[in-house]
Structures are given as C-alpha cells and as structure tokens.
Amino acid sequence: MSVLIFIDINEEGTVKKTSLEALTYGSKLAQQLSVPAEGVVLAPVTEDLAALGKYGVTTIHQVQQEALKHFDAQAYSSAIAQVAEKTGATVLVFSNNTDGKALAPRLSARLKAGLVSGAVALPEAGAGFTVKKSVFSGKAFANIKINTPVKIITLNPNAFPVEPGEGAANVVPAEVSVSAPKVKVVSVNRQTADVPLAEAERVVSGGRGMKGPENWGILEDLAAALNAALACSRPVADAHWRPHNEHVGQTGGAIAPNLYVAVGISGAIQHLAGVNRSKVIVVINKDPEAPFFKAADYGIVGDLFEVVPKLTEAIKQFKS
Amino acid sequence: MKILVCISKTPDTTAKIAFTDNNTKFDTAGVQWIINPNDEYYALVRAIELKEADASAVIHLVNVGGAESDAIIRKALALGGDEAIRVNAENLDSFGIASQIAHVAKENGYDLIFLGKETIDYNGSSVGGMVAELLDLPYISLATKFELNGTTATVTREIEGGEEICEVQLPVVVSCNKGMAEQRIPNMRGIMAARTKPLKVVEPVAADALTEIETFALPPAKAGVKLVEPDNVQELVRLLHEEAKVI
Ligand SMILES: Cc1cc2nc3c(=O)[nH]c(=O)nc-3n(C[C@H](O)[C@H](O)[C@H](O)COP(=O)(O)OP(=O)(O)OC[C@H]3O[C@@H](n4cnc5c(N)ncnc54)[C@H](O)[C@@H]3O)c2cc1C
C-alpha cells in the first residue's frame, strides 16, 4: 500500500509548483494512513528529483520513454496505471491542473477507483474516506465519500501550502509498456514567461471599467509592482481586449490566489464564482453599490484611473 | 460524420445555493435549470459550426437525467442538434454518468464526442476523461480551438500559462473550453423544428457508483469590507502588509 503522487513537469523540465503542493498533500495523507508516499514522473526532468524528498516522498518512480515525451492523456494514464499496480498504490494524488484534469478521470475509469476532483483539504480517513471539495463554482463545499479500494484525488491549486522539510527521495527507474501516443503535439506556445494564472499567489484583474485594451498599462504596472499575474472579467475577453486564458469566473478559469485585486469589475455572481476562493480580495470601483464590495476584504471607492497609478507608486515605495 | 454532444442540466448561474435534509441535498426549490454553459456555448455550438461546414454531419445529443431534463434537451435541439437520447437515470456520480454515455456511444458509433470542460455545479471535469477511457479513445481536454481536415483534427488545448496545438485522428473525445465558439440564441425556426425532432428515452445500463456525496456546506461569511479613502492608498498598502499579510 502507498500513496502515489503524480509529479507534473514544465516544458523546460522543472517541477510545476502545483506538483509541490500535491507532493506535500500526498505525503501528509500517507502519514495519516501510515503508508509510504511515493512519486511518479514521466516527462524528462532537468531538476534533481531526489531533492523532492524534502516534501515527504521516499521513492520516486521515473519512467523514461520516447512515447511519453509529450503529454498524451491515454499514454500517460496507461503508464501511471502500470506503476500504480506494480507499487500497490491505494491512493493516487494529482494536481487539479490541466494535466491532472485529463489524467485522473481516465485512471478512475481504468482502475475503477472513485475520484474526487478539486479537493481543498486532506481526507477524513477515520470513518470511511471523505474528501472536501469545492462545488457550485466555489459557492459551496461538498464532502464526498469514496467507496472503492483504490482512490483518486486531484488537489485544487493554492488550496494546500507547500511545506518543505528534510530528506531525499530514492529515485528508481520504472519500466512500463505503452503504445505510441495517438495525440501528436505540434507546438507549445507559452503566452507569458511569468507565473501561470492558476498558480499565481497574487492576481491583478481588470473589468469593463478599464474602458479599453489601451489602458491596460496601468494594470501591468500594478501587477509588476506586486509580482502578480493578470486576469480579466468575461466581457473583457469577449471583446478581445485580453486573451481568453486570462478570463476568470464561472465560464473562465477558477483561481484561488492569496491576493486578488479587482479593478473596474462589478462583481457579478458569475465572476465571483471563479475568484471567491481567493484569501484576500481588494476591490477598486467608482460605484459604492458595486456587488463586489460585499465579497471584498478591502476596498477603495474611486476612479481607477486615479487610484491605480497611486497604488502602484505606494507599493513600489513600500518595497524600497 | 456523426457527432455526439453531451449536455448536462445545471442550476442557472444566478441560482441561490442552499441545502436541505440536514445539508445532504441541494435545495432545488425555485431553481431555474439551464444547459451547462460550457456544454452549450462551447461544445454544442462548435458541433453546429462543424455541421454547417459539412452538410452530411449529424449531431446527436445525450443527457443522463430524469424527465426534468427534457426542457434543456429541447433547447439544445432548437439550437441545432438533430436528435437526442436521454438516459433515464438520476443522481449518478461522474463514473455512473460516463458509463451511460459510453454505452450510448458504443451502440451508435461516433467520430467525435464533445463535452463542456466541466459542469458549473459539481465542477468535476471528469466525465470526458472517463468516457474516453471506457471507449479506449484519445482524449483532449480543455480545447480552445478545433479544426477538422478530413479525419484529422487539429486541436488547441489550454495548458498552464499558454496553449498546446495537437493533431489527432478521429474518433476522439474532446472537452470544450472558452474560445471554441461563441454562444448562440435559438431562433423561432429552430424552436419550431425542435418540437418534432426525435428525443429518445432509454433505460440505463448497470454501473457502479464509485463515490457518494455525504454533506454540503456553505463557506463562512465574510467579515465585511474595510474601505480606504482613495487619497490614502498608503493605508491600503499598510493593511495588506500588516493585517492581511499578503505583501
Ligand atoms: C452563464 C454566464 C456565465 C458567465 N461567466 C462569467 C465569467 O466566467 N466571468 C465573468 O467575469 N463574467 C461572467 N459572466 C458575465 C457576468 O454576469 C458579468 O456580465 C461580468 O462579470 C461583468 O464584467 P465587468 O464587471 O467587467 O463589467 P461591468 O458589469 O460593466 O462592470 C464594470 C464595473 O466597472 C466600474 N467602473 C467603470 N468605470 C470605472 C472607473 N473609471 N473607475 C472605477 N470603476 C469603474 C463600474 O462601476 C462597474 O462596476 C457570465 C454570465 C453568464 C450569464
């Protein structure tokens, strides 16, 4: 028996931050169940894998095969299933990121293992195995019991803190047999070299109050001062002021940063649905009646074109 | 070309979220039901666009649910589906739902299976991957673009901080994300035509539920907003540093 954690790798061969969260989470769970925590990695890695032991994993199974060079949900899940079966894993942990969302359900069907996706806390393993997840687009939580011997969890980004400790993992090669991937990756385009939105700890977001794409410079400056990623409301993406991948909300991405700064966004329920798990929300809006103030921790009622540059200056001053 | 679009019924986006029976059931009182927006705006509309480009294409819709689903199924037919299959089963978990869809897909054989990236109620993002596995088909999740050239599809999918362009041979299962298509409003002709389009009700096949919902909970209420004067932004910086500890 073991908890097996999927270690997800960026194109440049480094471990994704969301995987460090999954490693910490899976290791804590393994401790609770008194079983070892192990990792599995499929893509080429440039980092020192043994060092991931500091997040609590004792063994990392490394698969190195040409067929797994690029992500393919079918080939990857087949490889992970083989490692899980060989190591007798009873819980599989993924990050609820783009790869985890493709892999965990395939493995659930393949291994007949109950899946809870988007977990926000460690399972209650006492009576049954119950996992808390966010539902209704962040407007509620559900406690879901997994009834199968093998269980799968995907962990929401930023829901569980990364806690490095001491230790080194034993990295062992693992052999699997996978057929050639049916999905051929033609190209990978990174829109930004910065922190991906879903992983960002701070996010600065703009709405229709920004009036047009030409005004985004003041938000970029604020984001740079805060070391934050950029996001936007749906009408902004619909009008092509900003790329679709920055759209957050019910039909866009769901994020849970430590700090969310909403500028010129009314705070419609569908927008809140994607950001209401943020730890601290700051709202800048000239309308004191904007619904966002009800969900905010801090607010400024004022014209964003005056407030934002002043705020950026104040942050820069504070930092220096 | 035969396309299957999976549509689910979700509470309207503005529905009040409350629970009954000791917080074990979603309170449906007064709830307006809609087609899950990701299924409607992205999966269904992209399928309709493909049909507009290839007159020989047919779009089947599948929904797993009770008779209350019929209204949203008719709306999907009005938008442009050709015929619908409702698997008469309720309250299944995602694996239960995926098993029913996979069964329908096996019986009819499709070149393309489209779904929304997730439902806005249970936010599982799971059914697509499960269906693909049960059918042993390739799966592309979070697709933002889908182009077809004969039997080869070029699909753009979201990855962290960017996108990936891939190529795959049909048949394939695709979960659809923003960018795939733009929302459409059904017109009167569509609504009239939908009335006579076939909506077949079939009984479910046996499938195990792997999970069950025990209880629901609402997030704790916010303490209330602290307002800062617009000409005193230094105070906001101080609060974010000293009180909220986020900078
Ligand atoms: C099914 C469905 C799904 C949806 N999904 C999403 C989603 O995922 N994400 C999303 O964001 N929306 C979503 N929406 C849309 C949502 O309902 C709102 O329409 C949208 O969030 C409004 O965006 P906004 O706040 O930027 O624009 P507006 O509602 O136009 O608000 C602009 C705000 O800017 C303020 N403002 C204007 N000028 C200034 C200024 N100079 N200084 C300061 N403040 C100013 C105004 O007071 C106002 O509050 C969805 C809607 C539906 C029906």
Pick from A40, A64, A44: nearest CA to A52: A40
Residue A69 tokens, joined: 């060079």
Query: In this complex, is the C-beta atom of A153 within 8 Å of any C-beta atom belonging to chain B?
Result: no
Contact criterion met (CB < 8 Å) for A280 and B240: yes
Chain B contacts of A102, Cβ < 8 Å?
129, 139-142
* Residue minimizing CA distance to atom 47 of ligand 1: A287
Query: In this complex, is the C-beta atom of A180 within 8 Å of any C-beta atom belonging to chain B?
Result: no
- Give pLDDT, residue A306: 98
Residue A192 tokens, joined: 């930004």
Give the pLDDT band of residue A172 (cuts 50, 70, 90): very high
Over residues A144-157, mean pLDDT: 97
Interface of B with A in 189-218 (CB under 8 A): 208-218
B21 pLDDT more than 90? yes
Q: How are beta strands B139-149 and B9-11 bridged, if at all?
A: unpaired
B162 exposed, middle or buried (CB, 10 Å; 0-12, 13-18, 19+)?
Answer: middle
Gap from CA of A235 to ligand 1 centroid (Å): 7
B128 pLDDT more than 80? yes
Over residues A230-251, mean pLDDT: 95
Query: In this complex, is the C-beta atom of B239 within 8 Å of any C-beta atom belonging to chain A?
Result: yes
Chain B contacts of A80, Cβ < 8 Å?
none
Give the pLDDT band of residue A20 (cuts 50, 70, 90): very high
Give the pocket of ligand 1 (CB within 6 Å).
A 207-209, 233-236, 249-252, 264-266, 268, 270-271, 274, 285-287, 290, 303-305; B 13, 37
Residue B211 tokens, joined: 């999970």
Mutate which: A71, A96, A101, vs B, most B CBs within 10 A:
A101
| Nearest ligand 1 atom to alpha carbon A233 | 11
Query: In this complex, is the C-beta atom of A262 within 8 Å of any C-beta atom belonging to chain B?
Result: no
A305 pLDDT more than 90? yes
Query: In this complex, is the C-beta atom of B242 within 8 Å of any C-beta atom belonging to chain A?
Result: no
Over residues A88-113, mean pLDDT: 98
What value does the mean pLDDT of chain B take?
96
Chain A contacts of B226, Cβ < 8 Å?
297-299
Pick from B25, B116, B39: nearest CA to B72: B39
| A143 and A120 Cβ atoms separated by less than 8 Å | no
A192 pLDDT more than 70? no
- Give pLDDT, residue B162: 87
- Give pLDDT, residue A125: 79
Ramachandran bin of B63, using left for φ above 0, alpha for ψ from -120 to 50, beta for the remaining angles: beta
Give the burial string for B175-204 (b: 16+ CB within 10 Å, else e).
bbbbbbbeeeebeeebeeebeebebeeeeb
With vertex at residue B175, the alpha carbon angle to CA A139 and CA B181, rounded to the nearest 5 degrees, is 90
- Is-above-0.80 flag for pTM? yes
What does the alpha-carbon distance between residue B182 and residue B46 come to, in Å, rounded to a whole number? 8
The 3 state secondary structure assigned to A81-134 is HHHHHHHCEEEEEEECCHHHHHHHHHHHHHHCCEEEEEECCCCECCCCCEEEEE
Contact criterion met (CB < 8 Å) for B126 and A108: yes
Instruction: Give per-residue pLDDT as tens, B186-199.
Output: 999 999 999 999 99
A226 pLDDT more than 80? yes
A191 pLDDT more than 80? no
Give the pLDDT band of residue A196 (cuts 50, 70, 90): confident
Query: In this complex, is the C-beta atom of A303 within 8 Å of any C-beta atom belonging to chain B?
Result: yes
A126 pLDDT more than 80? no
- Give pLDDT, residue A193: 59
B151 pLDDT more than 70? yes
Give the pLDDT band of residue A12 (cuts 50, 70, 90): confident
Pick from A100, A281, A101: nearest CA to B125: A101
What does the alpha-carbon distance between residue B78 and residue B7 come to, in Å, rounded to a whole number? 14
Give the pLDDT band of residue A28 (cuts 50, 70, 90): very high
Chain B contacts of A188, Cβ < 8 Å?
159, 162-165
Query: In this complex, is the C-beta atom of B33 within 8 Å of any C-beta atom belonging to chain A?
Result: no
ipTM metric: 0.96
The 3 state secondary structure assigned to A149-176 is CCEEEEECCCCCCCCCCCCCCEEEECCC
With vertex at residue A272, the alpha carbon angle to CA A267 and CA A273, rounded to the nearest 5 degrees, is 150
Pick from B245, B221, B217, B218: nearest CA to A280: B245
Strand partners, B156: B145, B165
Chain B contacts of A109, Cβ < 8 Å?
95, 98, 129-130, 133-134
Alpha-carbon distances of B39 from A115, B4, B46, B65, B126, rounded to whole Å = 21, 12, 10, 15, 14
| Nearest ligand 1 atom to alpha carbon A303 | 42
Contacts of B35 (CB under 8 A, 6+ apart): B7, B8, B9, B10, B44, B72, B75, B76
Strand partners, A94: A154
Chain B contacts of A71, Cβ < 8 Å?
164
Q: Which residue has the tokens 């062992």?
A: A172
- Give pLDDT, residue B208: 86
Gap from CA of A261 to ligand 1 centroid (Å): 14
Q: Residue A310 in 3-state DSSP? A: helix
Q: Choose between A195 and B157: higher pLDDT.
A: B157
Instruction: Give per-residue pLDDT as tens, B162-176.
Output: 899 999 999 999 999
Contact criterion met (CB < 8 Å) for B217 and A73: no
| Nearest ligand 1 atom to alpha carbon A287 | 47
Q: How are beta strands A229-232 and A89-95 bridged, if at all?
A: unpaired
Instruction: Give per-residue pLDDT as tens, A56-100.
Output: 999 999 999 999 999 999 999 999 999 999 999 999 999 999 999
Over residues B130-140, mean pLDDT: 98
Instruction: Give per-residue pLDDT as tens, A269-296.
Output: 999 999 999 999 999 999 999 999 999 9
What does the alpha-carbon distance between residue B155 and residue B148 come to, in Å, rounded to a whole number? 9
A51 pLDDT more than 90? yes
- Give pLDDT, residue A54: 98
